[in-house]
Amino acid sequence: MAGVDFREWGLLASIDLFKCNPQTIRSKEKIQEYVIKLCDLIGVKRFGETTIVDFGQDEKVSGFSMVQLIETSLISGHFANASNNSYIDIFSCKEYDIDKAVDFSKQFFEPENTISHVVVRKLEPVKGETSRILENPRNWLFENFGMDKGRSLAIKVNEMLAEEKSPFQRIGIFSTPAFGKLMTIDGIVQLTEFDEFAYHEMISHPAINVKPSVEKVLIIGGGDGGAAREVLKYEQVKQVDLCDIDAKVIELSKKYFPKLSCAFKDKRLKVFNEDGFKFLDSRTGEYDLIIVDSTDPTGFAENLFKEGFFKKVFNALKDDGIFVNQLESMYYNPDIISKSVKALKNVFPILNYYYTLVPTYPSGIIGFGFASKKYSPLTDYNPKQANGVLKYYNEEIHKACFVLPEFAKKIIY
């Protein structure tokens, strides 16, 4: 797809053509003609003469080998007389149309069968766990959340719409056939238009439907605006402070996700671009609800999963305040969950864990910590949101989402 850039440096297409026209592959002139026409067709510039040599001493190993340098790398070919197969490699750091090259090669050499492979040569090495896009066959985004363990999430991409490096992270916006637009941060899927509702509704509504009065809310992270949009659906909410360290996330969300970022137009929303950890230093007894909608616990987000931070949250909450935080997958992140839950229990008298179903997150499920000073999500359910209005959250979901499978109970309780 023209214009797509998955941190790529060059494209290698290897085209295997089986049982070609024997006369064509035995003709130096025809191979020369092929190279000239191919270069013109895919818009690459030949550099110097084509080298076409037959190294074979006898018919078993004989056949032409061809090399053509191009200004953006090279094209090579091996034509095996014994099998009448041809093996063509086109490597270019300039974008070219692979389908055209394959179709033309088929037309020219008239093979009975063809197999082609495409390899994207990388611009940068993979940054271990912080950048989880690993191997990129063309137009597929692979999120690695443990490729060493044999698992990954693959999403077909139409086009990369934007990629911006902020002082904090690398933000990518893609369009996809299955999930609409999608945002990544350092190669990790943050949200898609297809299923963001399941995450943003569930990080926001359960707490508001427990605490009788919620007027002042703090969201740490959440720069896409999704959690703020949900919280601001309640008239009783008078002020939402959103503290995302990275203004770039907000800017890109406003540009590419208008439905998600509509909250930024609401006068009740105040934006702070600071580290949420430090932001809380100057806040005491202010908030009814604090939500942490952060990236995973690495880099500057790591502190947001630790006891020192939970103590600050506790202080910043009113006496009956509630704290909800993004707390990973019970299948894939039991260690992160159990450490955070232990720390939360050291700080808050009431601690529950609940989950929502989001197909584009690792394992299709993501959980939240529900830490509270006074109200229990199980016994103090105080419905404000009518059934049938939202897309995911309703009364039954409120009751069901805190019910955990045995293995998860063992991690949490």
- For ligand SAM, the binding residues (CB under 6 A) are 190-191, 199, 220-224, 243-246, 249, 275-277, 293-295, 300-301, 304, 326
> From the CB of 328, what's the least distance to ligand SAM, in Å?
8
CB of 91 to ligand SAM, least distance (A): 36
Shortest distance in whole angstroms from residue 376 CB to ligand SAM? 25
Q: How far does CA 24 lie from the centroid of its chain?
A: 46
Neighbours of 409 (CB within 10 A): 12
Specify which residues 152 forms β-bridges with.
none
Q: How far is the CB of 222 from ligand SAM (least distance, A)?
A: 5
Q: Which residues contact 172 (CB under 8 A, 6 or more apart)?
A: 160, 162, 163, 183, 184, 185, 187
- The answer to whether 408 and 353 have CB atoms below 8 angstroms apart is yes
- Our CB check for ligand SAM shows the closer of 26 and 311 to be 311
Instruction: Tell me whether residue 111 or residue 226 sits nearer to ligand SAM (CB atom).
Output: 226
Catalytic option among 293, 296, 319, 320: 293
Minimal CB distance to ligand SAM: which residue? 221
Coil, helix or strand at residue 139:
coil
- Residue among 68 and 326 whose Cβ is closer to ligand SAM: 326
C-beta closer to ligand SAM: residue 88 or 301: 301
Give, as one character, the DSSP assignment of residue 50. P
Give yes or no: 293 in active site. yes
Structure token pair of residue 307: 């006891």
Helix or strand or coil: residue 39?
helix
Q: How far is the CB of 56 from ligand SAM (least distance, A)?
A: 57
How far apart, in whole angstroms, are the C-alpha atoms of residue 331 and residue 373?
A: 28
Q: Buried b vs exposed e over 197-212: b needs ≥16 C-beta within 10 Å?
A: bbbbbbbbbbbbbbbe
> What is the closest distance, in whole angstroms, from the C-beta atom of residue 172 to ligand SAM in the complex?
12
Cβ atoms < 10 Å from Cβ of 238: 12
Tell me the CA distances in angstroms from 323 to 55, 232, 263, one per residue in order.
73, 17, 21
68 pairs with which residues across the strands?
75
What is d(CA 399, CA 64) in angstroms, rounded to the nearest whole number? 72
Neighbouring-strand partners of residue 14: 89, 117
Q: Based on CB atoms, which residue is closest to ligand SAM, 42 or 249?
A: 249
* Residue whose CB is less far from ligand SAM, 77 or 223: 223
Active site positions, annotated: 293
